[in-house]
Amino acid sequence: MKRDFDLVVVGGAMAGAGVAALAAADARTQGMRIALLEPKPATAPGPGEPLDLRVSALSHASRQLLATTGSWAAVEARGAAAYQRMVIWEERGDPAGGDALVFDAAELGEPDLGCIAENRAVQAALTESAAGHGVVLLRAGLATVTAGSDAIRIATDDGREYRAGLVVGADGAGSAVRTQAGIDVRATDYGQRAVVTHLRPEHPHADTAYQRFLDTGPLALLPLADGQVSLVWSTTPELADELLRADEAQFSGRVTVASAGVLGRLEAAAPRASFPLRLLHARRYAAERIALVGDAAHTVHPLAGQGINLAFLDAAALVDVLGDALAAGDDPGELRVLRRYERWRRAEALPAIALLDGLQRLFSGGDELKSRLRRGGLGLVQSARPVKRLLMQRALGIAGEVPASLRRAPS
């Protein structure tokens, strides 16, 4: 069967645009004919436009993917800010006390702990890089996908049809690719919503990220380049509704108290939005001529800011596997090939997902015993340097089986 493309990526947000840009830029997969199917492509933010509400803490590995694809400069120009420290404490603890957990880049021998970048800028830069490397941008949604033995048929919601060697499902938590491939998921609703906005702190954030574990869910303050902080407050749906409805003075007061005044008074500086939180893990990452990446494969709680970082590691691992298959003269869409990607990434993602899920459960609920356990646990990790180091290296994406294109040059 004649193929229109070797690879069609369904979903062009950060994960999908990352796959398309990396596959197009990487020498091992450069010859592939690639299309990126996205009904709502991101437009690059204009100069002077305020920073979008959605920002992400990106690991070193993620920043490397942006650099490899030539996307970093545009993201940096939108004020991506490196951060040096992270302070984590419990509702009944003290951010400056012995039961707080502090990650410090200098202590780990790293230049920084990562950077906070605008999602929209990341998506737009990767899409632009993909297009610059010859990826065909298709502005439409997927209607159906049907795998055959030598090609996969993709029908779009604008009535077109394409044949490809491989489809990558990067279409988010509600992935149609995953559903149509008959891939089952393990799902848990956390019964929480994340309220996000930007705030003006009274005291300078000093390039430090803060996370306070409240009984109702974690509250994070991420430092932005303009001196403001990005709030991600995961909480009960009822409190989330109240926070969204509160006027500016009420909201500022509540968030200042909830953050224990760690940055002094926090003033509302942007609109507010909220997102439902759930855990979702696909039982398979691959099917005949189909691979899943990003939230389509695993949707995790934002408490450790790992969602897009896992997604970029998926993207790079997939490109490694496809490159090896092409070099060996194999058809990269064959299940035998895609199973290698699945084994690799599930083995890496499973412990991360279990840890995030475990932390979410341990750190919610208000009983005194749990609270003491939490404070003890944070204090223990703080004093156990090797454990702390390992956790941080995992979070930075520089430990485990790191894909070739994201590996650091030996120093």
Interface ranges with ligand FAD (CB under 6 A): 10-16, 37-40, 56-57, 141-142, 170-172, 176, 194, 196, 232, 275, 294-295, 302, 305-309, 311
Shortest separation between residue 2's beta carbon and ligand FAD, angstroms = 23
The residue among 89 and 190 lying less far from ligand FAD, judged by its C-beta, is 190
Could you write out the DSSP letters of every residue in 137-150?
EE-S-EEEEEE-SS
The residue among 87 and 176 lying less far from ligand FAD, judged by its C-beta, is 176
The residue among 219 and 326 lying less far from ligand FAD, judged by its C-beta, is 219
Shortest separation between residue 97's beta carbon and ligand FAD, angstroms = 25
Residue 303 to residue 306: CA distance in whole angstroms: 8
φ, ψ for residue 335, nearest 5 deg: -60, -35
The candidate with the shortest Cα–Cα distance to 59, out of 131, 145, 117, is: 117
The residue among 196 and 326 lying less far from ligand FAD, judged by its C-beta, is 196
Shortest separation between residue 382's beta carbon and ligand FAD, angstroms = 22
The residue among 272 and 375 lying less far from ligand FAD, judged by its C-beta, is 272
**Strand partners of residue 267:** 200
Shortest separation between residue 336's beta carbon and ligand FAD, angstroms = 25
The residue among 45 and 370 lying less far from ligand FAD, judged by its C-beta, is 45
**Strand partners of residue 130:** none
The candidate with the shortest Cα–Cα distance to 28, out of 289, 313, 293, 322, is: 322
In terms of C-beta density within 10 A (0-12 exposed, 13-18 middle, 19 or more buried), how is residue 69 classed?
A: buried
Could you write out the DSSP letters of every residue in 24-55?
HHSTTTTT--EEEE-SSPPPPPPTTPPPPS-E
Element (H, E) at 257: helix 248-258
Shortest separation between residue 182's beta carbon and ligand FAD, angstroms = 16
Residue 72 to residue 125: CA distance in whole angstroms: 8
Do residues 244 and 231 lie in contact, with contact meaning Cβ atoms separated by under 8 Å?
A: no
Shortest separation between residue 74's beta carbon and ligand FAD, angstroms = 18
Shortest separation between residue 53's beta carbon and ligand FAD, angstroms = 9
SS3 339: helix
The residue among 227 and 276 lying less far from ligand FAD, judged by its C-beta, is 276
